[in-house]
Amino acid sequence: MNLPIEPEDLPLTDSIDQSILMHRDAHFSGNFDIMLNYYKEPNKGVCLDFELDKIIALADLEREMGTNLSALVLSGSDAEKVSKAKTAYKKLRQLYENPTKDKKYLLLIADLILAEEEEPTKEIDAIVAEKGVIVRSLIELLRSEDFKDPLMPGYGKAPLLAAKCLGLIGDKRAIISLFETLGESDFFDEDIELAALKSIGEPAKEFLLNVLKGRPLNADNEKAAIGLIQFKEDLGVAETCFKTLQEIDVQKNLSFATYLILACENINQTSYKDEFIHLSQSPSLDRMLRQDILSIIKEWSS
């Protein structure tokens, strides 16, 4: 008599196996062969956490068992996430079935999401050419929690592409949304959002300075300091960041103070140069902050 197979009886080692199955079902129609062919090249949607040998082992196991592993392993919530991703793919593809003028901007956004290139230049150029009229749609994509999920169309990278487009368009309506996304991505992805703020220029700089001056201190002050590093060549920015750094409460917040120091790189070109040097000699200053200030002072003479 054949007994039903329980998930715990399967030779699956960890949550990565489940993630691979969800990834396969969401992006590759549940087909391991399609997924394996995709993963043999450095394609945009390749998840670096998934080893090719692991994918092959799962494909072999499914072939040996003659049954879909997802049906045995994935929980109800996992299946719901995959279903949501499939529905998103379907909705995007439906846009192409009957293209009309009123769908123009949606189609350009869909092109951007579905592009397989890491740097989809053609799709970005087409969006930037529309300038301000497409900004609202880009902001919606930037703020979308759904499209930050690697299971969704675009492999979780679509909001960052939206940020890049917003920076190239340079519309000040994007400032608040770009600011709010800071800290949500990893270090390298955050560079895209910061570059977008820098591209918007003066309005973004003034917004960040106003946030920096806000009290009581909170996470937004720190995010503003991070953003202002992009404007460190501006001597007014360097002066404001240094004045903020002089506050005792600010010096107690080491990460915030560190970002302010980085924005003070050109303070030697202002009347605050000697005060900056004097701060490095303060006995109450944290040792790490002192080292950061001394590093900048040393750069001035190199």
Q: Could you read off the pLDDT of 57-89 as tens digits, one per residue?
A: 999 999 999 999 999 999 999 999 999 999 999
- 65 lies in a domain? yes
**207 contacts: CB under 8 Å, gap ≥ 6:** 175, 176, 179
- Rounded to two decimals, what is the model's pTM? 0.91
Residue 81 lies in a domain: no
Residue 153 domain-assigned? yes
Let me know whether 105 and 159 are in one domain: yes
Residue type, 203: P
For residue 8, the model assigns a pLDDT of 56
Domain end marker among 21, 49, 74: 74
The pLDDT assigned to 185 comes to 73
- Are 106 and 52 members of one domain? no
Count the domains in the chain: 3
Specify the pLDDT at position 1.
Answer: 39
Judge contact between 240 and 209, C-beta under 8 A: yes
122/65 same-domain check: no
Q: What is the pLDDT at residue 3? A: 41
Look at residue 189 in the predicted model and tell me its pLDDT.
Answer: 83
Residues 242 and 154 in one domain: no
For residues 233 and 47, what is the distance between their CA atoms, to the nearest angstrom?
37
Q: Are residues 227 and 295 in the same domain?
A: yes
Task: Note whether 40 and 112 are same-domain residues.
Answer: no
Cα distance between residue 144 and residue 290, in whole Å: 40
Whether 296 maps to a domain, the answer reads yes
Amino acid at 191: D
Which one of 45, 74, 103 terminates a domain? Answer: 74
Parent domain of 167: 88-171
Give the chain's residues under pLDDT 70.
1-13, 187
Distance CA 3, CA 19 (A): 27
Distance, CA of 164 to CA of 167 (rounded, Å): 5
Q: 82 in a domain, yes or no?
A: no
Q: Quick check: is 188 in a domain?
A: no
Residue 133's region, left for phi above 0, alpha for psi from -120 to 50, else beta, is alpha
Look at residue 291 in the predicted model and tell me its pLDDT: 98
Residue 189 lies in a domain: no
